[in-house]
Amino acid sequence: MTGGTGRVSSGRTGFRLEVPSEGFVATPEVLIVYEIPPADRRRLVAFQRQLSPEGPLSFSADPDTWRNATDKRCAVDCFRRDGIPHMETIALYQPDPGTAMDAFERLGRDVWARPTVGAGGADVFHLTTRKQLHAALRHYAASDQDWLLSRDAGNLTSDGHRHQFRVVVLHDRVLRVCEHVQADPDAPCNESSGAVSTVIPAEDLPPQYCRLAVAATRSVGLPFGGVDLATENGGVVFEVNVHPMLDVPAGLETVAIPFVEAHLR
């Protein structure tokens, strides 16, 4: 299905989904909502609010918790409130050059710029000079994006490579851990930007970082999510992903099946 203009109704006959343009009608008992791009998630809010406890079994689809994780400003606010270790961050709303420069100076002139809503490391820059800052300022202004500056986490290996983990959490259980190593210290540390990802046994991640991943997921209100964190300098959380990838080696067994089973509560 390619989708189209749809309708949702609930009543005595149950929960009903219709997409007239596709000739699709369904009354599901279980509904799995997944792989929704960050920029499109707000379009689903009205639909998600129809998923009442009396409707089809659905899991980790609350629109408020999705917003908390998707909008990095909200995520940072949650982390601050709950004492989740993270790098100092300043949100910028179409700033003038002076405001951007003040934030850059305050954060030590070694920062990462990222859009408030984004995915896959797109539009993310490591900035250490005023020239780079002004280039980022022009980039976000041209694309009409609000953005954030965060102090660099110093998550570097002894040979100067970026290093972090993706930890997939379900309730208080760690399902999967991937170690990411990025040879370019100025590039985002994810696979789409060239980082090498290696699955490691969950028990190989020290317990304090497993607990940190669980706490970060709870902080934004999600029962399920993929937490990006670094273990250097005491451990810090970068973000919580609403929809960690399933199409990865052993992803079916380690992530997809437990996620689906959680719908059958």
Q: Would you give the DSSP letter of residue 87?
A: -
CA distance 76 to 97: 23
Cβ atoms of 58 and 29 closer than 8 Å = no
Best CATH choice for the domain 155-262 from the list 3.20.20.70, 3.30.470.20, 1.10.3720.10, 3.30.1220.10: 3.30.470.20
Q: Is 240 helix (H, G, I), strand (E, B) or coil?
A: strand
Domain extent listing, the chain: 7-61, 88-151, 155-262
Sign (positive or negative) of CA dihedral 213, 214, 216, 220: positive
The tens digit of pLDDT for each residue in 179-218 reads: 999 999 999 999 889 999 999 999 999 999 999 999 999 9
Tell me the pTM: 0.92
pLDDT tens digits, residue range 24-64? 888 888 888 888 899 999 988 988 888 766 666 788 889 99
Helix (H) or strand (E) holding 97: helix 97-106
Say whether domain 88-151 belongs to CATH 3.40.50.300: no
